[in-house]
Structure 1
Amino acid sequence: MPFIEVKDIVKMYHDPKRGKNLLALDHVDLTVEKNEFLCLLGPSGCGKSTLLNMIAGFEKQTSGTILMNDKEVTGPGADRGMVFQQPTLMPWLPVWENVSFHLKLKGVGKKERREKAQEFIDMVGLKGFENHYPYELSGGMNQRVGIARALLLNPSVILMDEPFAALDAQTKMDMQEELVRIWQFHKVTVIFVTHSVEEALILGTKVAVMTHRPGKIRELLSIHLPRPRDVTSHLFNEYKRDILGYIREESKLAKAT
């Protein structure tokens, strides 16, 4: 039985300015296995983030069902951790308090919160920055804080919405390597939204290529590449050529409609 099942999902938005409905997702079916690293890839506006938000429970589908562990997703839950494009940290709190904030909401004492936070601060490579504030950190370091916060929830799934899109090339490569290391160590399922074919191939065990709007799953590819991934290898570039071909076809179809 799949760990996550997306079954016949349709999402319709009402566009008041044009006075009609907009079909964003059109009968999407997708399965995700436990401990898989699935990358959702597709053109802008195809519904990648919308689908991710539905799995998170932040957004409701018009029709269809999303199941996790054979239970319907009806809202947010601690079994799903979310990492956004911007880390949405609280600027008035130091790193360790940002990481452990949800424990404070549960009434957990300061000493226990700090000990628990430290475990995940160390895991994401931020030892020594526990008392720094977000404005004192780089963009990549703030994303590490966001990842540590999501991991501390001990979720079954981490959902990531283009978390490295705003980072420079070197920091992005460092964060990709760090994320793979954490995923391998923590044995968690990851669903990762990206626009980058190369990023999807560096990270994913599977890549779901979506169509132009209304979004559907066009291709679901298993990526059989050794880690660390060599972006110059023949097989890596074969995958890349195939996926770019699908995306170019979708771009032509989008322009023709």
Structure 2
Amino acid sequence: MAAIELRNVVKIFADPKRGRELLTLDNIDLDVDANDFVCLLGPSGCGKSTLLNIIAGFENSTSGQALVDGRIVERPGSDRGVVFQQPTLMPWLTAIDNVAFSLKLKGVAKQERQRRAMEFIDLVGLTGFEHHHPAELSGGMNQRVGIARALLMNPRVILMDEPFAALDAQTKLEMQEELVAIWQKHRCTIVFVTHSVDEALVLGNKIVVMTRRPGRIRESVTFDLPRPRDITSPEFNDAKRRVLALIREESTRGAHVA
């Protein structure tokens, strides 16, 4: 059984101000296997984030179904961790208390929840900064807190919406390496939205290329490149040319349609 199943997912947004409807996703069919690292790639406005929100349970599809572990997604759940483009931390809480907040809501004693949170603080390389507030941390550090918070929930699926987009190039590379190491250790299923072909190839073992709006699956490409991936290798650049060709074909098709 696939970890995530999308069956004929359609999403239409109403625009009452303009008296029209906007077809955003059109008949999305996709299976994501357990322990896959899938990157969603496509032009701005193609519905990548909307699709992620449907899997997360933040949005309902207009028709069709999203299933996680065979269960229909109707609302957010602890089986799915979400990491946003901005880490959405609570500024009045320290890093460790942000990570442990879900345990506090469950009534776990402070000593136990901080012990468990420290495991993930250490995992994302923030030991020594656990008592700092978000304003005292860099953007990359705050994203580490967001990832640790998602991991502590021990979800089967982690959904990530361009979490490194606002980071500088060096920090982004470091975070990509850390994320791959975490994925290899925990063997969870990750769906990662990105605009960057290079980022998708560095991270994913499967890349799903979407069309222009309305978003459809243009092609799903599996890559079995060795890790850590050498972005200067012939194999990496062959894969990059293949994905870029798909994107260019889609861009050309969109221009002709327009």
Q: Normalising to structure 1: TM-score of the pair?
A: 0.98
Q: Which residue of 2 aligns with 1:234?
A: 234
Q: Contact 2:3/2:189 (CA < 8 Å) preserved in 1?
A: no
Q: Which residue of 2 aligns with 1:247?
A: 247
Task: Return the alpha-carbon distance in structure 2 between the equivalents of residues 19 and 51 of structure 1.
Answer: 24
Q: Which residue of 2 aligns with 1:174?
A: 174
Q: Which residue of 2 aligns with 1:224?
A: 224
1:17 to partner: Cα distance: 3.4
- Alignment deviations for residues 191-229 of structure 1 (CA, whole Å, 9 cap, x no partner): 000000000000001000000000011110001100000
Task: Return the alpha-carbon distance in structure 1 between the equivalents of residues 134 and 201 of structure 2.
Answer: 30
- Alignment deviations for residues 134-155 of structure 1 (CA, whole Å, 9 cap, x no partner): 0111100000000000000000
- The 4+ residue runs of structure 1 with deviation greater than 4 A are none
Q: Which residue of 2 aligns with 1:33?
A: 33
Equivalent position amino acid for 2:206 in 1: K
Task: Return the alpha-carbon distance in structure 2 between the equivalents of residues 2 and 158 of structure 1.
Answer: 15
Secondary structure of 2:166 counterpart: coil
Task: Return the alpha-carbon distance in structure 2 between the equivalents of residues 146 and 204 of structure 1.
Answer: 20
**Gapped runs of 5+ residues in structure 2?**
none
Task: Return the alpha-carbon distance in structure 2 between the equivalents of residues 105 and 119 of structure 1.
Answer: 19
Task: Return the alpha-carbon distance in structure 2 between the equivalents of residues 102 and 167 of structure 1.
Answer: 26
Q: Which residue of 2 aligns with 1:197?
A: 197
Q: Call closer, same or farther: CA 1:17–1:252 in 2, change over 3 Å.
A: farther
Equivalent position amino acid for 2:46 in 1: C
Task: Return the alpha-carbon distance in structure 1 between the equivalents of residues 66 and 170 of structure 2.
Answer: 36
Q: Contact 1:213/1:254 (CA < 8 Å) preserved in 2?
A: no
- Alignment deviations for residues 34-92 of structure 1 (CA, whole Å, 9 cap, x no partner): 01100000000000000000000000000001111111111100000000000000111
Percent identity of paired positions between Structure 1 and Structure 2: 66
Q: Contact 1:208/1:221 (CA < 8 Å) preserved in 2?
A: yes
1:252 to partner: Cα distance: 2.4
RMSD: 0.8
Q: Which residue of 2 aligns with 1:44?
A: 44
Q: Contact 1:41/1:208 (CA < 8 Å) preserved in 2?
A: yes
The number of equivalent residue pairs is 257
Task: Return the alpha-carbon distance in structure 1 between the equivalents of residues 66 and 90 of structure 2.
Answer: 31
- Alignment deviations for residues 144-182 of structure 1 (CA, whole Å, 9 cap, x no partner): 000000000000000000000000000000000000000
**Gapped runs of 5+ residues in structure 1?**
none
Q: Which residue of 2 aligns with 1:16?
A: 16
Q: Call closer, same or farther: CA 1:63–1:19 in 2, change over 3 Å.
A: same
